[in-house]
Structure 1
Amino acid sequence: MTGRTRLSAGPGPIAWAAYLLLVLLCLPVLVLAFLLLVGVLTGGGGASLVGLVVAAAFCGVVVLLGARLYQRAWWLEGTVLVQRRVGRNRRCDLSTAWVSVESVSPSPLALTSALPRLVAWHDGEEPIRLWLRDPDRRRALLPALELAALAQAITYGREDDPRFHPIAGGLHALATDPFAV
């Protein structure tokens, strides 16, 4: 297997546009307004330092949000699943990795129904988790070609190993008839 296939998971162009709008337009205005409000309420003095610290913390949250959005991109390079990370991308060869599927709520408080997520890992490494129904895109299922590519990468070189047939078979079934699963 060769080639690179970008997987349609993670934030789309609208999410990135909203984030850039927040960073470029809203954030400076909010920080300035907050600093002015603190200065007016306290009459200047040492409290403006508190306002500066709170504004810096708010900016830090926005930067962390951007880093989290940045890490929500995956692609296949042959049989290797790659997750974009800040600093260094994470890689997992699906043809040699342990692979499973879990059902998890994307909300930390479990306020929404569970969605399927592919989990791939090598012994001693942190697993890579890929949503099969993307919570960032209104629970849209990955396109059929991408699901089939994942299934093919999982079974590549180990077609006779029955432990991986249910997962690859489930991905193929989802790709051919998403309403049956």
Structure 2
Amino acid sequence: MRNDVLHPGGTSPRTSGKRRNRRGPSLLLLALLIALMPAIEAQAQDWVTNRGVEMDPERARQLYVSNDSALLFLGRDIEADIERRMGIQARYAEVTAGVVDFQMVEYPSSADGLTIPAYLFQPLEPRGENGHPALIWVHGGVRGLWTANYWPFVREAVERGYVVIAPEYRGSIGWGEEHHALF
């Protein structure tokens, strides 16, 4: 049985006899995007400018004429990645104090024994003999690393009683060239 048959005048409780203007929000959103476009473009340009790879012309010529088929990751500064990771670890130690139990741990890979570093976050209070449920948090992707951006999510999970382990699997940056190249 159709719903509009039950109501006088063919109206339904959903519309109360009025037709909605579905164009209003779309036009408003479009106007807002047009108004914000210069700011969005400026931010994008700033991102490109600040993230670009600086290279001297001689090095650029060498890369251009190279017949080597090796995969090259231009702009990767392994030492800077390690310094960045150390900063992230120091920041986690700072923000987790008194909130969660944070430790850096290592474990051997079952595939080849490679030492895998990982961030371990646990509730401050142990939960009896059955322990806590655990989450293995896999960050964005290879050639990436665990960052402080994940902290709000980790904190919520730990506050809900989970143990969170976040491995820096092979290929992650910030652990030296050998670890980075193993993917």
Bigger radius of gyration? 2
Shared fold per TM-score greater than 0.5: no
- TM-score, normalised with respect to structure 2: 0.22
Which protein has the bigger strand share? Answer: 1
- TM-score, normalised with respect to structure 1: 0.22
